[in-house]
Structure 1
Amino acid sequence: MTEHPDVEATRAAYNTVAADYAELLRNELDGKPFDRAMLGTFAELVESAGDGLVADLGCGPGRITAHLHSLGLAAFGIDLSPEMVAVARRDHPGLRFDEGSIESLELADGALGGIVAWYSIIHTPPARLPGVFAEFHRSLRDGGLLLLAFQAGDEPRHLGFAYGHEIDLEAYRLPPERITELLLQAGFAVEAQLLREPDDRYEKTRQAYLLARKPARKPARS
């Protein structure tokens, strides 16, 4: 299957910045209490639903994967960029990291107890997000949890320079109410939302977090 040009561009950009990206963001969660709170809530809910594998999709250098593992989850990472996967394997040798696309996961139906997509839907054109959420829904077991993080807004942004490198990458700020609508259309039940103000050190826009669940099927009547 032929890749979309934007997928190729995203892979190339993250291959370019992988090492510097990993170093810059290595300890970022230490100063992000709301981020840790959302990840902690997700971990608690996954455990209460019966554990299961958790995929960190668009895992980059593996920092969120490692944090989920520290919270007791059987977490592994998937990323489009082979250079990011190489950095993740180097920095977290005890964890599993695979190459792959969030639009076409090489996972069986219902294979996962949880999915985290931490700023990894922001490079997919909004018109293709329904397909991404359908793929997430397919890969989760009944009762499985999904946690999304993304920049809130309603406009594309071109990145020509980032993490010390020249790149060519599109990023999309997304309206939380529209993402909620798309999750509902994909069959999810949205359980929690957080919209926080930007951190003046790094951020220029509000940050959004959505926690959703794939509902358990109701037993058939006899």
Structure 2
Amino acid sequence: MAGSSFLDVARAAYDTVAVDYAALLKDELSVKPWDRAMLATFAELVLADGSGPVADLGCGPGRITAHLHHLGLDAFGIDLSPGMIAVARAAYPDLRFSEGTITALDLASGSLAGAVAWYSIIHTPPPELPAVFAEFARVLAPGGRLLLAFQVGDERRHLDQAYGHAISLDAWRLSPESVVRQLGEAGLEADARLVREPDAFEKVPQAFIVARRP
């Protein structure tokens, strides 16, 4: 897609795979106790702070949004892919989903008690990440919490096939230290990080960072 932005490329890819992606990953959390633990810890912190709206940024088919809802949070989802949003709305009709991008969120400043970006920053070119983190900081209320998940590394991977479809999409593996530093530069303080080893279906370690807007 010559001339397209990384957002256009990601939107096209996820529109293509939306239905099969949702079916293949529907029960993924059930076999990932460390991932569930990070989501539960995040939810406990937000609830202890008094709760409030929590955005699942890059929500895809809505499975993490629904999990956050089951943990007691007032969760809603945002994704740049209309195909993903359609799947999420069909699967979870009682939850809120809307189209949007993590680079320019249609949310008021300081309006969120929490935000989750569950593997949704991985298609953002690294030079663009500081602006994305600044946007996350903007929409969080003072004391608001952020949870990030991403693959560990320092390289770009190009995907020509995914979830049974031909696509064209770049994904970046990231350094937890670099992400923590950039979060700090955006005004977000990292409270905890977890790096777990890859499971049987993963190739690299997986990172989870919980940060807070002071």
Answer yes or no: same fold by TM over 0.5: yes
Q: Which residue identity is paired with 2:19?
A: A
> Which secondary structure state, in structure 1, belongs to the residue aligned with residue 136 of structure 2?
helix
Structure 2 unpaired stretches of 5+: none
TM-score (norm 2): 0.98
Q: CA deviation at 1:6?
A: 1.2
Matched, 1:208 2:212: no
Distance 2:87 2:132 in 1: 25
Distance 1:68 1:124 in 2: 24
Partner residue, 2:181: 181
Distance 2:171 2:5 in 1: 14
Matched, 1:169 2:146: no
Q: CA deviation at 1:48?
A: 0.6
Q: CA deviation at 1:199?
A: 0.5
Partner residue, 1:154: 154
Q: Percent identity?
A: 64
Q: Residue deviations 1:26-85, cap 9 Å, x none? A: 000000000000000000000011101000000000000000000000000000000000
Partner residue, 2:66: 66
Q: Which residue identity is paired with 1:138?
A: R
Q: Name the larger-Rg structure.
A: 1
TM-score (norm 1): 0.95
Distance 1:199 1:192 in 2: 21
Partner residue, 1:145: 145
Distance 1:175 1:7 in 2: 22
Q: CA deviation at 1:4?
A: 5.7
Flag as ranges the 4+ runs of structure 1 deviating above 3 A: none
Partner residue, 2:35: 35
- Written as runs of structure 1 = structure 2, the 5 A alignment for 1:118-129 is 118-129=118-129
Considering only aligned residues, what root-mean-square deviation do their CA atoms show, in Å?
Answer: 0.8
Partner residue, 2:47: 47
Q: CA deviation at 1:5?
A: 1.5
Aligned length: 212
Q: Which residue identity is paired with 1:38?
A: M
Q: Which residue identity is paired with 1:119?
A: Y
Matched, 1:190 2:209: no
Q: CA deviation at 1:105?
A: 0.2
Q: Which residue identity is paired with 1:109?
A: S
Q: Which residue identity is paired with 2:165?
A: H
